[in-house]
Amino acid sequence: MTMTMIDTETPAAAPHAEPESSKRREIIDGARKVFFEKGFDGASMDEVAKAAGVSKATIYVYFASKAELFEALVHNDRTRSAERLFEVDPSGDDVEMLLRRLGISFMTMMVQPDQIRMVRMVIAIAEKFPRIGRTFFDAGPCHGGQRLAALLRRQADLGRLRIDDDLAAAYEFFNLCQSNSVKGLLFGVGEQPTPAQIEETVERAVRVFLSYYGTQPRT
């Protein structure tokens, strides 16, 4: 689909549909620094250009607007996070250890200050730029849920889990792991949990999850 008019405030085309280039990556890296420091409204393309070491004109070769640039940053960061999260062997024979490892990796990522800043920024602008909200949701929660659902289905096929709805089970596991920690941080309540606290929360999540979906009796 082509567009006859480009709005300087609305993304013109899905940024992740464009081929990656070193210059584009440099611009996104520079934008990350500025957006995380100044927020979406406070960031300017001049500051992004300075942080990326390029001219503002060069930025507009790759991105039609600040919103489109931020959308590209959101997609880039969510995709990379999902890939790092699922660097596991989906056929590993210890499903409890597999879930524990995924849960700890997931929660360690979710409570990082930059992650919290990103979520806050997306929520703040999603009403004005709904496509950015959709990009975050698709590349983050939806993509992560689909990846975990496939992993759970693999474990079920191997007879280690009893699951009738892979995707629902995946989201349930992620929600169990988050408990109330992430929500509190989003609202500025409480402190970032320690690794020991994350492990404790994930351990409870794994036990609850396996008590319902597991095939082995638990002591």
pLDDT in tens, 60-78: 999 999 999 999 999 999 8
CATH number of the domain that residue 195 is part of: 1.10.357.10
**What confidence score (pLDDT) does residue 72 get?**
96
User: Does residue 208 lie within any of the structural domains?
Assistant: yes
Rounded Cα distance between 90 and 92, Å, is 6
Q: Is residue 70 part of a domain?
A: yes
115, part of any domain: yes
In tens, the pLDDT along 42-55 reads 999 999 999 999 99
> Lowest-pLDDT range, 13-22, 109-118, 128-137?
13-22
> Would residue 88 count as lying in a domain?
yes
Number of domains making up the chain: 1
Which SS3 state, helix, strand or coil, does residue 175 take?
Answer: helix
- Rounded CA-CA distance 155/149 in Å is 10
Query: What is the reported pTM?
Result: 0.82
- CA dist 69 and 114 (Å) reads 17
**218 in a domain, yes or no?**
no
pLDDT grade for 91, boundaries at 50, 70 and 90 = low
Residues 6+ apart with CB under 8 A from 100: 202, 203, 206
pLDDT of residue 61: 95
9 domain residue, yes or no:
no
Q: Does residue 142 form part of some domain?
A: yes
Residue ranges making up the domain that contains 207: 15-213
The number of residues making up the chain comes to 219
The rounded distance, in Å, linking the Cα atoms of 152 and 161 is: 8
Count of CB atoms situated within 10 Å of the CB of 207:
15
Instruction: Report yes or no on 4 lying in a domain.
Output: no
